[in-house]
Amino acid sequence: MPGTPPTRFVYLGPEGTFAEQALRTVPAAEHGTRTPARSVGEALESVRSGDADAALVPLENSIGGAVGVTLDELAEGEPLVITREVILPVEFVLGARQGTSLTAIRSVAAHPQASTQCRGWLRTYLPDAVVVDVLSNGAAAAGAAGGEYDSAICAPIGAARHRLTVLADKIADHADAVTRFALLSRPGPPPPPTGDDVTSLAVYIAHDRVGALLSVLMELAVRGVNLTRIESRPTGEALGRYVFFLDCTGHVADVRLGEALRGLRRVCADVRFLGSYPRHRWADGAAERPVPAPAGLSDADYADAAAWLARLRAGELS
């Protein structure tokens, strides 16, 4: 039924990863089922097939950039929409079996992205240890718990899940690193506007038109719609053919953004709507302050102009 809260959740597994930690910040997920998937594609296909109501997958990392496989999945296949974003601080820990000391560690299991983000700490505190690449942070924790490796770089939830002793916490070289996750569902009415929303799009430009990308940007700029992110991915059709992923401030129900979407529809080869959803808010209620629209381009200005035009059409010139 439309509007029914999701109860069956799937996330990029395995258990004990940042994705599970992020999903558990979604209130409905705490009361529903949470099933790990082996890949982003598998997670999203579970939603498309109806086996799950929503999937939580990584979208981008402040250090590693966009997660290409997620963007590719959003651009292809049956449409899905983002209903919520979760931004999670990436706080890696070094976990080991009880009784293991830091000086005794000779091997460290880690996902390649995790070991890259902790390179400086490893160089300083474990210069002689061998870093072994594994498929996920959860697999690293499981390997250390099973005795396959002396230790693991993993998420705090992974260390707790596998009963590892935390020998060092917050070992990432960039203390302020975060990962942005997206909760995706089958198409339906978007969450109501909150006044602080994000709209995501996948835009295919007309390749036989000079200045096609500039035309896309102008449709947003002339209406005072702030573009917060743009990312390109190859379409696979031919060299030089790209789809552009855009994040904009505003909601599809807003007059300004609605006019911008109509404009994009006119000038683009195709536009895929990926959802309008509330901007992430931290536990203390804080959120990044939206960039205000220029004078004459606020929602109130658009409403006033629309009312004025309606009066003109009705023959009211006062």
Return the pLDDT at 65. Answer: 84
- 181-204 pLDDT per residue, tens: 999 999 998 989 998 999 999 999
Instruction: Tell me the sheet residues that pair with 201.
Output: 246, 273
Return the pLDDT at 1. Answer: 40
pLDDT > 90 fraction of the chain, expressed in percent and rounded: 49
**pLDDT over threshold 60, residue 285:** no
**pLDDT over threshold 90, residue 290:** no
Please give the residue that has the higher pLDDT: either 275 or 31: 275
**pLDDT over threshold 50, residue 300:** yes
Q: Which of 179-188, 199-208, 286-295 has the highest mean pLDDT?
A: 179-188
pLDDT > 70 fraction of the chain, expressed in percent and rounded: 93
Return the pLDDT at 241. Answer: 78
- 69-80 pLDDT per residue, tens: 899 999 988 999
Return the pLDDT at 3. Answer: 59
Return the pLDDT at 2. Answer: 47
**pLDDT over threshold 70, residue 289:** no
pTM of the complete model:
0.80
Average pLDDT, the chain: 88
- 6-15 pLDDT per residue, tens: 889 999 888 8
